[in-house]
Structure 1
Amino acid sequence: MAISLYDATVGTYRQILGATANVLEKGRAHCEANGISLDDVVQMQLIDDMLPFQFQVVSVAHHSLGALKGVEGGVFTPPSPAGEDYAALQDLVAQAREGLDAYTPDQVNGFEDKSLEFRLGSNAIPFQGGRFLLGFSLPNFYFHATTTYDMLRMKGTPIGKRDFMNLM
């Protein structure tokens, strides 16, 4: 069975962005019901040398819609940490979900051999679009979505694997 670049990326982005939206909403409801500050959640870290919850959620959007935009434009850079509040993070995920609608299968499948650079500071790493999306950005997307889930679970949000999978 052959799978297209579009199906492997956009299909996955839709599934996990939907899951992220759901766990963010369950996290908000749990925090509000239990007197947990959403501002504290936005700034929490799993460990001191790890970027905060806010960055994890921003990275979910950045490694989905942002990755497609990066391939399209020929340059991808890491997201900048910002001071968004919880509601803004939810909006960002919703915008990423909606933004995927702008990409057609033919367009994304055409990204496979498109050249781009991942720029990190003064370093520029060359990629082909397919390799970038499947080998770099998609693993990062899963990492940050999983970390978002884990951090909300750590705060006691009643979520489980079904919430992360977003299939049932």
Structure 2
Amino acid sequence: MPIQNIDFIKTIFHTRLTTLDHLLKSAQTHFKESESFLQERITTDMFPFGTQVAFTCNQPRNFALWCDSKPMDNLDPKVLSLAQAHEHIANTKELLSAIKTKDEKLNEITRIDLGEDLYIEMTGNAYVNDFLMPNFYFHLVTAYDILRIAGVPIGKRDYMMHLVPFLKNR
């Protein structure tokens, strides 16, 4: 079922950005403050961890800009420091918190420029469900996978942090 509520979309992005920040802090601890892990990648033809942070942030960032009827504005993909990575996450969360758009925005037609004179037009609902969310999770999972491959001691609990409020004891 498609997500059709602005506040719910904001919550999904915000909680998963908290997960991304947690993963980043776990890597910092594991690598003892070395920033070299920002250049780790799964394979040579994929972007490094630092770029995955920027690309993960771009989805909620562009959602917030779209909600405010502003053009897409992707972050610099060259994330070369921990401070820059944390700043991207914090700034993206601030943009999300500032969204004041009504749910009707999701019914509007939007145009997404893909470069090389290519674009797609779709409703806001399709933009969120078929473009933003798949890209968001792809880059979040890729960031997680890079850290796992690099030896950071994280697991599913670290990735699924958004479920912590629902945990119960028997």
Q: Give the 5 Å matches for 1:14-25.
A: 14-25=14-25
Q: Is the 8 A contact 2:3 2:125 kept in 1?
A: no
Gaps in structure 2 of 5+ consecutive residues: 165-170
Q: Given the two structures, how large is their TM-score scaled by the length of structure 2?
A: 0.83
Q: 2:102, 2:132 → 1: CA distance?
A: 14
Aligned AA (2:87): D
Moved more, 132-141 or 73-82: 73-82
CA distance, structure 2, for counterparts of residue 49 and residue 108 of structure 1: 40
Q: CA RMSD in A?
A: 2.3
Task: Give the whole-Å Cα distance in 1 for the aligned partners of 2:4 and 2:128.
Answer: 12
Is this contact kept in 2: 1:59–1:79, CA < 8 A? yes
When residues 128 and 3 of structure 1 are mapped into structure 2, their CA distance, relative to the original with a 3 A threshold, is closer
Deviations 1:114-157 (A, max 9, x none): 22221122212112211101111011111111111111111111
1:158 counterpart = 2:153 = yes
- Is the contact made by 1:41 and 1:53 (CA closer than 8 Å) also made in structure 2? yes
% identity of equivalent residues: 28
What is the SS of the residue equivalent to 1:63? helix
Runs of 4+ in 1 over 4 A off after TM superposition: 77-80
Partner in structure 2 of residue 6 of structure 1: 6
Match of 1:28 in 2: 28
- In 2, Cα distance between equivalents of 1:4 and 1:135: 12
2:170 counterpart of 1:144: no
Residue pairs, 1:86-165, within 5 angstroms: 86-104=82-100, 107-121=101-115, 122-165=117-160
- The farther-off stretch of 134-143 and 6-15 is 6-15
Q: Contact 1:75–1:116 (CA<8 Å) still a contact in 2?
A: no
Structure 1's 14 and 68: CA in aligned 2 closer, same or farther, altered over 3 A?
Answer: same
- Using the TM superposition, name which of 108-117 and 127-136 deviates more: 108-117
Please report how far the alpha carbon of residue 46 of structure 1 lies from its aligned counterpart in structure 2 after TM superposition: 0.8
Task: Return the structure number with greater relative CO, CA threshold 8 A, min gap 6.
Answer: 1
User: What is the DSSP-based 3-state SS (H/G/I as helix, E as strand, rest coil) of the residue aligned with 2:91?
Assistant: helix
- Deviation per CA, 1:42-63, whole angstroms, max 9, x where unpaired? 2222112112212210011111
Which structure 1 residue ranges, 5 or more long, are not aligned? none
Q: Is the 8 A contact 2:106 2:124 kept in 1?
A: yes
CA contact (8 A) 2:107 2:124 kept: yes
Return closer, same or farther for 1:73/1:3 CA change in 2, 3 Å cut-off.
closer
1:66 aligns with 2:69: no
